[in-house]
Structure formats: C-alpha cells, structure tokens
Amino acid sequence: MPKGLRRKGAAQRSNFPSTSASKNTSCRRKTKTGTGSVYTESTETVYDLSVYKQLHRLTLEWPCLSFDWCRVPENFKDDGELWLLLGSQARFADANALYLLHLSGLALTASDGSSSSSGSDSETESEIVVDSSDLERADDRSTRRRRPKISAVRIPRGECTNRVRCLPQAPHVAACWGESSGVSIFNLADALTALPPQAADTVPFREALPTEPVFRLLDRSGQEGFALDWSTLQVGMLAVGDIYGQLAIIQSNESGWAILQPNGDRMLRLHGASIEDLQWSPTEPSLIASCSCDRSIKVLDLRAANRPAIELTEAHPCDVNAIAWNRRYPKQIISGDDQGQIHVWDLRMSGSIEGSTPVASLSYHKDPIYSLEWNRIEPSMFCATCGDGSVSIWDLSLEPLFEEDPARLDRKCDGLASSDSVDDIPAQLLFLHEGLKSAKEAHWIETSSQMDCLAALGQVGLHILLPSNIYAENS
C-alpha cells in the first residue's frame, strides 16, 4: 500500500487561492501504516512523487466544509481543466462565501517512475501566481509559464455553508445547506460565464458577484442540516435531510422549484436524530438511502413513504456520518461512522429487523469518517476521508473480506512504533494520502482519459491527486 508523504519541519501557509505541486524529496515508497492524528499545526508534509501521477495542492483563505465539481460539457473542457464549487466556514459570518473556481494546466506531476530524490524542481514544481506578493516571489518567467492557472469568483454568502452539491445534468445549478437559512438553490450561470473558457483571460480573483438564491427551503427558524443529494435519474430532483431527522424532496417544474409531498407533508420524519448523509439510488428513481446520528441506515421508497423499505436500526455503534451507493452494483452500499469503521452492506441480505450485520467491515481509521464515494471506472474501488487527516482508497476485490483475521484488523496503530508493521494494513487498503488536516470530503472527478482523478478537501486545503497504483496499466 503506497503512501505519499513523510513529515518535515514547520509549515508555511499562503493565502487563497494558490496551488503548487509538491517538491522533490528523497522519501522512498512506503508500505507502512499511517499515523493519522499525529499531525499538528507545525507539521509540513513532503510528498513522494514517485507514487503519484498527479498531485496539486490548493491552500484556502478560510476553512471549507464541503465542495463539489461542476460537470461542464465535454466541448468546453480539456484534461487538466476543472471547475469546483466550495462553501466556506469563515471566522466572521460576513466573510463567508461560495467560491467557484476554474483550474487549468493541471498536468501530470511525475512523468516517470523514478524516485523523487534528485532534488530538482524543474519538472514537478508549479505554483499559481495570484497577486502582486506572489508575483514578487516568482520572478522567473519560464517558471511562471509552467504553473497551473486559476480563476475564482466569490459569491458572498453571509453564513457558513455545511454542504454544496452541483446538479449533475446542469453545471450552473447548485444547492447548499446553510447553518441558519436552510437549503438554497442557486443559478450560477453568470459566475460560470465570468470564468474560462467563456472569459478568455485567466484572472486569479474577479470582483465579488452577489447572487440571490432562486429557491429557499426553511421549514423552521434556525433549521440546519448536512445531507444533500441530486438524483442522477430525474433531472432537478433534490433530497434534503436536516438535523431533526427530517427528509424533504425538492423538484424543478415549469414555474421553478417546489417541494414534493409524497405523504402530504413538506418534511418526512425519517430518523430520530440528525440525518448526516443520503444518496439516491443509481437505478431506482424513487429510492433514497440515508444514515443518521441515531446509528441507523434506512432506504426509503417515495412511492410508499409511510415507512422505510429497509431499516438497519443498529447499523453502527455510534453516529453514522457517510453513506455511498455503488453505481455499478446497486445492491451494495457502504457506510462510515464516528469511530472510523467502514461497513459494506448487501441490500439483498438486509431487512427491517434489528441486528442486521454488514457483509464486511474495514478497520483502519480511528477518527470519524466524513465522506465516502465509489469510483466510476473501477466498481470495487472507493475513497474515504477521515478526521485523522487522510484520504484512503480501498479496493474490495483485492482479497475475500471474510478471510481476514479479525485480530489483525483490530490491531491498533499506536504512533510510529506500530506503523512499522504491515500487518496493521487491511488487504483492501490500496492507497493512503495524508496531510489534509481534518479531511472533510473527496470526489472522483471524471476525465476523458479513463483515469478519474481525486479531489479531496481538508480544513485548510484542497488536494488534486492521481495515485500511480489505482488503475490498471491499460486503462
């Protein structure tokens, strides 16, 4: 299991939005257990580029809890070019915003398989010039030409954004959960027009673009939530879950947006505590899977919304934070909890009974799992973000899970001492990317090369990466 970093010295942070590929280091490829929560404010991560095909790092002005990528049509984009939407959690409410970014020139950072021990930065070092202070530090014109480019539009928000999701069928439509104003749906067409390719020039920061939501759902004063997902089967169908365990369905129609009331109520009481995550079925347009702080997982059929079709009442021993539905094998879902456990479920073997068990459990992380997402190309592969500062990539096809030794899986990783043993690494753990403080969310970003890259968001940074070992050579 390759791991892409070592620890070194004290870190220096730059202002948002700047990005750089990691410098060459003498770090060799590692097959040891990560140490997760040992990272501190004074720790700098230095990455071994020999285990990456691509690695770029973006430092944020304010912490962000959530992001998504805009599915811009193929005729508008090239490989190495992407659009991202982020929602901030600033120290001051008035400083909060949605950031719509355009990144380009994200070339492969390691063109060969050699070790990154040469010390030369000529092929791998790149940094975006974002303002006059950065320009003074980067006075080499030839270096600047090799650097990735960024354009950013700031949309003032006035409150923390808990989660953002872009409509898969229309990149200019986005929904976000606010910490006090409920769910808002935005039309970001003007913001996208201000970015390349519609805007011919690349400008790091454009003027703030105030944008009012075209729809807002606020069922009660101070309503807040985290669960949000657009249907991939029905255009303009949005599922929303709040901290009171309620579910709402918002649907576009000829006159705009409206709340669907499958059983006559605007909000369906689905869980006994906060709904932390939910996801539409990839094959059945009326099915929604959800997870909650009440430790349960439920699958609801909107055609019979009076009770869940499947209810796993004790799915985890603690809060269930994340859930993901396999888009190639729709009977399979995964879930992650506050203790770092990831469970694999076969919906054909589950029912509305207490004590249902997962078909497999993956034990490696010790801090909360915040997000899970299946890979589009490899149906047995998924990524997970964890509060220990890591993003892990798993492949369930690497070894039959029921043959794992429970004693081996339960062995704890206690600092650097136990990280010397490869026995602590589950066979399904394919790659571990570390250095993102309190990693919040990760998404696979589709490219035309059949090697989707991974974007991962931490408390103060965003990393774009493509490990060298996750796809077959002929992909």
Confirm whether 405 is domain-assigned. Answer: yes
Q: What pLDDT sits at residue 324? A: 98
In the block, residue with structure tokens 């030839």? 142
Q: What pLDDT sits at residue 83? A: 94
**Model pLDDT for residues 154-195, shown as the tens digit of each residue:** 999 999 999 999 999 999 999 999 998 899 999 999 999 999
* pLDDT classification of 44: cutoffs 50, 70, 90: low
Confirm whether 157 is domain-assigned. Answer: yes
Task: Return d(Cα 259, Cα 163) in angstroms, integer.
Answer: 19
DSSP 101: E
Confirm whether 182 is domain-assigned. Answer: yes
Alpha helix (H) ranges present in 75-203? 132-137, 141-146, 189-193
Q: What pLDDT sits at residue 413? A: 41
Q: Evaluate the omega torsion of the peptide bond into residue 368 and state whether it is cis, within 30 degrees of 0.
A: no
Q: What pLDDT sits at residue 198? A: 86
Q: What is the dihedral of CA 197, 200, 206, 208, to 10 degrees?
A: -60
Which residue would you say has higher pLDDT here, 148 or 151?
A: 151
3-state secondary structure of 144: helix
**Choice among 103-117, 302-316, 374-388 with the minimum mean pLDDT:** 103-117
Here the tokens at position 263 are 């059983």
Q: What pLDDT sits at residue 123? A: 34
- What average pLDDT does this structure show over 398-402? 64
Q: CA geometry: angle at 380 spanning 374 and 386, to 5°?
A: 45
% of the chain surpassing 90 pLDDT: 57
465 burial class (0-12, 13-18, 19+ CB within 10 angstroms)? buried
Give how far Cα 85 sits from Cα of 69, 153, 161, 301, 436, Å: 6, 10, 11, 30, 18
> Can you say how many angstroms the Cα of residue 266 is from the centroid of all Cα atoms in its chain?
29
**Model pLDDT for residues 263-302, shown as the tens digit of each residue:** 777 899 999 999 999 999 999 999 999 999 999 999 999 9
Q: What pLDDT sits at residue 344? A: 96
DSSP 141: H
Q: What pLDDT sits at residue 169? A: 95
The count of other CB atoms within 10 Å of the CB of residue 424 is: 20
Of 469, 325, 337, nearest to 393 (Cα)?
469
- What average pLDDT does this structure show over 28-55? 56
Q: What pLDDT sits at residue 193? A: 92
Q: What pLDDT sits at residue 258? A: 94
Which residue would you say has higher pLDDT here, 74 or 199?
A: 199
Which residue would you say has higher pLDDT here, 47 or 400?
A: 47
Confirm whether 158 is domain-assigned. Answer: yes
Going across the sheet that includes 320-325, the strands are 320-325, 332-337, 342-346, 360-362
Could you please report the per-residue DSSP string of 3-59?
A: B-EEEES------SSEEEPPPP--PPP--S---GGG--TT-EEEE-GGGEEEEEEEE
Confirm whether 34 is domain-assigned. Answer: yes
Q: CA geometry: angle at 85 spanning 326 and 205, to 5°?
A: 155
Which residue would you say has higher pLDDT here, 352 or 136?
A: 352
Q: What pLDDT sits at residue 219? A: 73
Q: Are 241 and 278 in contact (CB under 8 A)?
A: yes
- Taking the complete model, does pTM exceed 0.85, yes or no? no
Confirm whether 474 is domain-assigned. Answer: no
Per-residue pLDDT at 126 exceeds 70? no
Confirm whether 281 is domain-assigned. Answer: yes
Which residue would you say has higher pLDDT here, 186 or 472?
A: 186
Q: Which domain holds residue 270?
A: 5-467
The total of structural domains in the chain comes to 1
Task: Return d(Cα 85, Cα 195) in angstroms, integer.
Answer: 12
* pLDDT classification of 108: cutoffs 50, 70, 90: confident
Task: Return d(Cα 170, Cα 176) in angstroms, integer.
Answer: 15
* pLDDT classification of 240: cutoffs 50, 70, 90: very high
Q: What pLDDT sits at residue 127? A: 35
Cβ within 8 Å of residue 156, ≥6 positions away: 96, 97, 208, 210
Q: Are 48 and 28 in contact (CB under 8 A)?
A: yes
Q: What pLDDT sits at residue 35? A: 31
Q: What pLDDT sits at residue 146? A: 53
Confirm whether 435 is domain-assigned. Answer: yes
Residue 415: CATH number of its domain: 2.130.10.10
* pLDDT classification of 93: cutoffs 50, 70, 90: very high
Could you please report the per-residue DSSP string of 424-441?
A: GS-TTEEEEEE--TT--E
The count of other CB atoms within 10 Å of the CB of residue 474 is: 5
